[in-house]
Amino acid sequence: MIPSVSPPRPADLLAWYDRHARRLPWRTPPAERRAGVKPDPYRVWLSEIMLQQTNVTTVKPYFEAFLARWPTVADLAAAPTEDVMKAWAGLGYYSRARNLKACADTVLRDHGGRFPETSAGLRELPGIGAYTSAAIAAIAHDEPAAVVDGNVERVLSRIFAVDTPLPGAKKEISALQAQLTPSKRAGDYAQAMMDLGATLCTPKRPACSLCPWETACVAHARGTEELYPRKAQKADRPERAGAAFVAIRADGAILLRKRPERGLLGGMTEVPGSDWIQGAKTVQGPEAAPLAADWQRVAAPVIHVFTHFRLTLDIWHARLPDTHPAPGDAWWASSADLPHEALPSVMKKAIEAAAPGATCKRK
């Protein structure tokens, strides 16, 4: 039996947001919105792309660095792709960086440097799907689009005690969000829902007594807040194994190469290595190295977890004279340049295992 609760009122949530909105570098605060200040669609778009699969704390310094370097979409479109990939290094999900550059190019070329104002128009741009288009259209232009991220899923699954496990419940939750989204202040409402999930309606020990929708929450009335959202049991993550070869010249330079443009970590920089074989118990050793040298194995392998598999990398390192040439598809990155290369996290781990401190930026 569903306990008696009052229906959730968007006005109550917005009143809470007016007092407690998080201060974020890409956000136009509610007081400024009321004073007529409009959000910058470029900032909204950039933040939403960066926030895909990545938390706010991680995104903030990247967002500020991008904005300082490329303050407008025209600046970003004019940037070399390699510079964008290097600036993105460490944020993960690197297809986002390629799509970011492609989207900036498209906005400048096909839209005169102005982002479309509707979710339908935004969805036609590279790298922008249903969620991102709804978020940008709502936040930048107050389109009453149903914006549903992980925070919103958690809030609404508790408010309405949605028993269907995720991801199967996504359509149901989207429909509930569409019903609640107000025709006015849609952008503030979307951000209020995100803030509610991020600050009060958290996965563990939600602060229900501070929630503006406490009396509207079925899960709270039942005392079952932490049982929601329901989630389907995850399958075991597959295992892959490979080898990485860290060649270090006498002057400290490290051998690097570029990954293929398509596929996992496409277009990023790596140390040479073997293929990553699923289910492999043993991997290739020095016979797979990019050049002949006295290769020594690092005692502990590097473990890196991707979204769809867990990777174990055996790390081999070798010292070479500073006159040693690089193979045709590779180059030597000096100790000064290495920290600025477009190295994904797994490659930074591999290099650090063989040469501690090598990837750290010098002050």
Question: Catalytic residue positions?
Answer: 48
Which residues are registered as beta bridge partners of 320? 249
Pairing verdict, β 330-333 and 254-258: antiparallel
Rounded CA-CA distance 231/16 in Å is: 29
Phi/psi of residue 356, nearest 5 degrees: -55, 130
Q: In sequence order, which ranges of 181-266 are alpha helices (DSSP H)?
A: 186-199, 218-222
The encoded tokens of residue 306 equal 């991707």
Q: Which residue has the tokens 């004019």?
A: 78
The kind and range of the H/E element at 297 are strand 296-297
H or E segment and range at residue 258:
strand 254-258
Looking at residue 209, what DSSP letter applies?
A: G
Secondary structure element (H or E) that encloses residue 87, with its range: helix 81-88
Structure tokens at 110: 């096909």
User: Could you say which DSSP state residue 273 is in?
Assistant: B
Q: What is the largest CA-CA distance in the chain?
A: 78
CA pair distance 140, 163, nearest whole angstrom = 33
DSSP run (H or E) holding 134: helix 130-141
Cβ(76)–Cβ(82) below 8 Å: no
Amino acid of residue 304: H
Q: Give the residue among 106, 226, 96 at the shortest CA–CA distance from 158.
A: 226
Reference 224, options 294, 303, 295, 160; nearest CA is: 160
Amino acid at position 76, single letter: L
Cα–Cα distances (Å) from 319 to 254, 296, 302, 355, in that order, read 10, 9, 20, 11
Is 320:247 a contact under the CB 8 Å cutoff? yes
